Amino acid sequence: MLINMSTILSIIKKIIDISIVWMLIYVILKNIRNNVKLTLLFKGVILIVLLKLASDFFGFTTVGVLLEYVIMWGPLALIIVFQPEIRTILEQLGRSQLLGRHKVLTVDERERLVYEIVQATDQLRKQRIGALIVLERDISLGNYIDKAKKIYGDLSSDLLISIFFPNNPLHDGGVIIQGDRITCAGAVFPTSSSSKISKRLGTRHRAALGIAEETDAIALIVSEETGRLSIAVKGELFYNLTIDDVRMMLIDELKPKQSIDLDEEALEEEEIYEENN
């Protein structure tokens, strides 16, 4: 009996140990995916490892020796060169929330959230009023909220429009939305240094892409010069969108992943049923 209990406890410990390791790997890879620079770095490391394996397999001695030096001193060089990016991912791990506030919203609350944002955006673009609206998801934006002007008001299109009105002192900053509430205004975000973004685009677009590169937030931009709409999400900038495009992207991005998986499964089952009949 004692032997059986000790065996069971040993198995449970191993399962917990492996689960913790896999959870850490998952969290790290998830945060790497949300950071464009770290994604490129990760791909580079994988490429070097594959080249090393290929050189050993085919017997390329010179290439193998060079890659051994790269693997030996590479980690130190990466820590020095990519110190800001490594610090960013560690900060993201510390700011990650188990359950983002957008996930606890009901379907009706999410629909109202999207409706109010779209209504405000439509009015802002028609009046050529510049705006930057950032929606927090799983990664906390607490660092930016702490340095901004706190509002903690219920989200409404009228409040958003009044914040970005040209004579308002908070006009130049960004608004951060947590769940269905406007947490703060006048927030300042890091600007992206990506070469893919057009030089014609201003600070708002670069700030939106910057926060989308560092976190999983959704950043909506209204251009003051042209009235065009853009959304930055997952390290990409989607430029010159229609109001319907904005509505659909917000609905898709704010939908909990579990709901998306269920919708996809339902669609697959429907397709299989139609094929069989």
84, 147: one domain: no
pLDDT digits (tens, 9 = 90+) for 237-270: 999 999 999 999 999 998 876 544 444 454 454 5
H or E segment and range at residue 247 = helix 243-254
Q: Is the pTM of this model over 0.75?
A: no
110, 10: one domain: no
86, 190: one domain: no
For residues 132 and 217, the answer to whether their CB atoms sit within 8 Å is no
Supply angle C-alpha 163, 169, 174, rounded to 5. Answer: 55
Within 8 A by CB and 6+ apart from 181, the residues are 152, 153, 154, 155
Domain end position, chosen among 95, 119, 142? 95
pLDDT digits (tens, 9 = 90+) for 208-244: 999 998 888 999 999 999 999 999 998 899 999 999 9
Nearest of 234, 264, 227, 261 to residue 249 by alpha carbon: 234
- Domain count of the fold of the chain: 2
91, 175: one domain: no
Domain end position, chosen among 43, 78, 95? 95
89, 118: one domain: no
SS (H, E, C) 179-204: CCEEEEEEECCCCCCCCCCCCCCCHH
Structural domain for 155, as ranges: 101-258
18, 146: one domain: no
Task: Compute the residue count for the chain.
Answer: 277
Tokens of 125: 């673009």
